[in-house]
Every structure is written in structure tokens, then in C-alpha cells.
Amino acid sequence: ELGKRLDRPVVLVGLMGVGKSTVGRRLAKRLGLSFVDSDSAIEDAAGYSPAEMFERFGEKDFRDGERRLVARLVEGDVRIIATGGGAYVDPSTRQLLNERAITVWLDAPVDVLAERTSRRDTRAQLRNGDPKCTLEKLSKERRPSYEKAHIHVKSGEGAHKEVVEAIIEALE
């Protein structure tokens, strides 16, 4: 069974709205593994959501906390880890994750991300200006980082279920 054969965590990376948390939770269930989301873990540890941390302390403090937390998560049990969209962009985090985990990039067109993120206003970066422009810009900047993930999976308009199956196939 795949879940038992895995010897390292599987870490989902990619832009906000791509479905890392939803896909991660379902993938964990399919494989009989536990699931953790780095944004939620930060909130549990700090008592502030990522958006609140951005606003109160600034992005740098959030990134410092995120870097430490993700490093701790990847040293733990074999499980499915969803990261906040910026975590894998940090070079030292990226290197650590690629060494200690199987990294999976979920990629979707910016239109799809803009639509999905508009349903819930939880992201600090999308509060000012046109969300689609911001996503476009982040997508350009971050693509070279995300391309370094071990596995690339398209997560377009299709159902999350298909994305889960595509990841399982790539992991087999």
C-alpha cells in the first residue's frame, strides 16, 4: 500500500487558491496518512492568522516564523503537508523540502486562482489592488521556484478528485 511505502512526507506547494489544503486533506485520507497545513499550524502556534501576522508584524516576521515551522513539520512523521504559497519560494526552505520530502507543485491558470481566492478573503496580499494582477505577478515571480518541485500536477478547472488521483499515480 502506497501510504505505508512512503518514507518521507509529501509537501504540496503552489500559489494561493490552487487547492493545496483541499487536495492535501483528500490525499491524506486516501493514503491513510495525517494532514497538516502550515498556515493553520502557524495560527495555532502564534495565535494569529497569516493575514493578521502580515498586518501586525509585516511579511518578514511571518516568513521567519513560517521558515522555522515548515522545517519542523518536515522533520516529523510521514504525512501530507500543505504549505502557504510563499514558503517554497524561500531558497533554504526549498532546498530542505526537496531533500527531506517529496515536493508536489499544483499549477493552475491565474484565472482559476483569481476565481477561487475571490470566494474567501483570507489573503493579506490580495487585499490591496486588483487580485488578478497580483496573482499574475506572483505567478511570474514564483514559477521558476515552483518548477523545482519533484512532481508537477495541473490543477485547472477539473475536480480536486482528479488532482488527487494524478498525485497518487505520480507517487506510485
Q: How far apart are CA 129 and CA 57, in angstroms?
A: 21
Burial of 91: CB neighbours in 10 Å, binned 0-12, 13-18, 19+: exposed
Question: 41 — phi, psi (to 5°)?
Answer: -65, -35
Indicate whether 84 belongs to the interface with ligand S3P (CB under 6 A).
yes
Indicate whether 46 belongs to the interface with ligand S3P (CB under 6 A).
no
Site string for ligand S3P, 7-36 (x = CB under 6 A): ---------x---x----------------
Indicate whether 50 belongs to the interface with ligand S3P (CB under 6 A).
yes
Indicate whether 86 belongs to the interface with ligand S3P (CB under 6 A).
yes
Q: How far apart are CA 96 and CA 89, in angstroms?
A: 12
Block residue for cell numbers 519542523: 72
**Part of the chain binding ligand S3P (CB under 6 A), chosen from 78-86, 93-101, 105-113, 149-157:** 78-86
DSSP 86: T
Q: How far apart are CA 167 and CA 141, in angstroms?
A: 25
Among 124, 151, 168, 171, binds ligand S3P (CB under 6 A): 124
Indicate whether 107 belongs to the interface with ligand S3P (CB under 6 A).
no
Site string for ligand S3P, 140-169 (x = CB under 6 A): ------------------------------
Q: Any known ligand binding at 158? A: no
